[in-house]
Amino acid sequence: MVLTIAQDNPGAISPRNRLETKRWNVALDFSCFIADMFSFGLIETPIMHGCLGILLHEMASVQHVRVIQAMVKRAGPTLWQSADSHERRQEFTMKFVERIKSLPDNASLTGREESIRKVIKVCDITG
């Protein structure tokens, strides 16, 4: 018999948890480390897209936007060079814009417009 149970992760960065600066720094640095490993060929493309998918799915604060931006930049253009890159990029773009719009008002993105614009530019979302 196999049971699959979804358990709450109390340590996750979410609106329910008060975000500590130390934990945020570690989360950001570790996520960038994964992106760097991808750029050096240590992490495969599906895994990297899986990580971005998790961030998009869980997006609930401006921190999620920032870490997506940082990961996309550090991963480099290789992120969109797979066989299905076009579909992947369109899917990512659509989801990204959709999730940003769904962010609650208290997760203010004021002053982050440039950051978001860079993400869109790196991903060639507007192209």
Can you give the binding site for another protein, defined by CB under 8 A? 1-9, 11-14, 16, 22-23, 25-34, 36-37, 39-44, 47, 50-51, 54-55, 58, 64, 67, 74
H runs (alpha helix) in 40-112: 45-58, 62-75, 85-101
Give the C-alpha separation, 67 to 32, whole Å: 8
CA-CA distances (angstroms) from residue 95 to 51, 74, 99? 14, 20, 6
Report, in Å, the least distance between residue 50 CB and another protein. Answer: 8
Of 30 and 98, the one with the shorter C-beta distance to another protein is: 30
Of 8 and 105, the one with the shorter C-beta distance to another protein is: 8
